[in-house]
Amino acid sequence: MLDVKALGERADTMIRTLGSISAEPNRLVRSFLTPEHRAAADLIAKWMRAAKLDVSEDALGTVRGHWPGYSEKRLLIGSHIDAVIEGGLFDGPFGVIAGILAAEHFAAAGRKLAFGLDVLAFGDEEGVRFPKTLSSSMACAGTFDSARLEMTDRDGVTLRDAIVRYGKDPAQIVAAAYSRDVAAAYVEVHIEQGPVLEYKSQPLGVVTAIAGQSYLNVEFLGEAGHAGTVPMMLRRDALAGAAEVVLLAERLARETKGEVVATVGLIRIPAAAANVIPGNVALIVDIRSGSDAERHRFVDRFKSEIRALADRRELGLTITQTRDVPTTPCDPALQEAMAEAVRAGGGEPLYLASGAGHDGTAMAKLCPIAMMFVRCRGGISHNPAEYASPDDMGIAVAALIRFIENAKL
Ligand code: GLV
Ligand code: MN
Ligand code: MN
């Protein structure tokens, strides 16, 4: 018999311990290939060793805990240990911890399965540090493009240098890739990050697909000027153009009636000062949809309206699309197996799509994927108020254990 309550309490304690590892004392800040990433990875490795898993780390710092099976095939169970700036404790870490607790269930009892288990703690899901994200899972999937090594963070540090400073060798990234014969499936447990499970009074959901994403980097070039002397009609204010883009994103997305969501969460004014008309502003528009066709239609219309407003305001404009990630379907057979594992625990699985991005998007290039969602309070995520109850986490870990027990890989 699984002690569901004890599993949930252990998950909660582990999440809080991991959550204390931050670059700042009063909020969670944990980015890819930083000292905090190092400390979090070390803690995960310690837990994996205590769970009797063989621990290794690849060239991008992904921690792997392995429990061997009777064949070379492996079920990969993963999530991420990086966080957004001022993030919550559960987004990512819960999936890694659920994987460790589930693998421990078999490893501690010396119970070998037909396939091995690899618990993966990725470090680059949130895309906070570098312009492109999912490098860790792409390396595991064998799709890491080495051109990424030249991308830079805000301080001008290349990914290549960040890897070296982390004590790793960029030439070894290719060795992180799983072979298709070995990687039988990838499964991820994650808080829902939305309100549906709570609304429907269900602790667990089965994910049908991960929404596609576009990122547009928009830069306006106007003319910097004195805030006190340049008449309003003679200004070429780059920030006023950017403000129109924010409202345009909101208006056009609302017009799609739920098909597309669009967000401007980052605006940079390089020479910001209260008494200077902004001459240069850059922003990123995050656009997501469950339908690639709707997303592409939205991006085309959005770009043409931005061009029109830049013309009207006599602003120079550069639009660079840094992401165009298609919707990733979860494997139908694995969805059913996941639903069965939920039912076996007495729950009624809710099928729902993920609006958030996940490492599964990258892993789906390697093998079939499945995801389980766990109810979180108020649907709140990317926010320190993020919360999933110990009881729900225990139910999720138990369902993951049943999924593993019954998996036919
Ligand atoms: C990651 O959380 C994302 O969906 O951006
Ligand atoms: Mn996440
Ligand atoms: Mn996130």
**Over the stretch 161-173, which tens digit does the pLDDT of each residue have?**
999 999 999 999 9
Instruction: Work out the pLDDT band at 12, boundaries 50, 70, 90.
Output: very high
Q: What is the CATH number of domain 212-325?
A: 3.30.70.360
* CB 349 near ligand 1, within 6 Å: no
Atom number in ligand 1 closest to CA 355: 4
**Over the stretch 196-231, which tens digit does the pLDDT of each residue have?**
999 999 999 999 999 999 999 999 999 999 999 999
Are 38 and 92 in contact by the 8 Å Cβ rule? The answer is no
Ligand sitting nearest the alpha carbon of 382: 3
Which tokens go with 288? 């997501």
* Residue of 192, 328, 382, 386 to test ligand 1 pocket, by largest number of atoms within 8 Å of CB: 382
Ligand sitting nearest the alpha carbon of 192: 2
* CB 357 near ligand 1, within 6 Å: yes
CA 359–ligand 1 middle distance (angstroms): 9
Mean pLDDT on 11-27: 98
Mean pLDDT on 253-275: 96
Residue limits of CATH 3.40.630.10 in the chain: 4-210+327-406
Mean pLDDT on 3-19: 98
CA 227–ligand 2 middle distance (angstroms): 42
Atom number in ligand 1 closest to CA 382: 2
pLDDT in the model for residue 303? 98
* Residue of 125, 284, 327, 359 to test ligand 1 pocket, by largest number of atoms within 8 Å of CB: 125
pLDDT in the model for residue 274? 98
Mean pLDDT on 266-279: 97
Pairwise CA distance, residues 400 & 409, whole Å:
15
For residue 119, pLDDT beyond 90? yes
Q: Which of 236, 220, 245, 217 is nearest to 306 (CA)?
A: 245
Instruction: Work out the pLDDT band at 1, boundaries 50, 70, 90.
Output: confident
pLDDT in the model for residue 111? 97
Are 176 and 318 in contact by the 8 Å Cβ rule? The answer is no
342: left (phi over 0), alpha (psi -120 to 50) or beta: alpha
Atom number in ligand 1 closest to CA 125: 1
**Over the stretch 275-313, which tens digit does the pLDDT of each residue have?**
999 999 999 999 999 999 999 999 999 999 999 999 999
Instruction: Work out the pLDDT band at 19, boundaries 50, 70, 90.
Output: very high
pLDDT in the model for residue 399? 98
Residue limits of CATH 3.30.70.360 in the chain: 212-325
Mean pLDDT on 20-43: 98
pLDDT in the model for residue 352? 95
For residue 380, pLDDT beyond 90? yes
Q: Kind of pairing, strands 350-354 and 204-210?
A: parallel
Instruction: Work out the pLDDT band at 384, boundaries 50, 70, 90.
Output: very high
Pairwise CA distance, residues 404 & 114, whole Å:
10
**Over the stretch 42-82, which tens digit does the pLDDT of each residue have?**
999 999 999 999 999 999 999 999 999 999 999 999 999 99
Ligand sitting nearest the alpha carbon of 122: 2
Give the sign of the dihedral formed by CA 66, CA 51, CA 127, CA 198: positive
Atom number in ligand 1 closest to CA 288: 4
Which architecture characterizes domain 4-210+327-406 according to CATH? 3-Layer(aba) Sandwich (3.40)
* CB 78 near ligand 1, within 6 Å: no
Which tokens go with 274? 């209260």
Mean pLDDT on 385-391: 98
* CB 356 near ligand 1, within 6 Å: yes
Ligand sitting nearest the alpha carbon of 30: 3
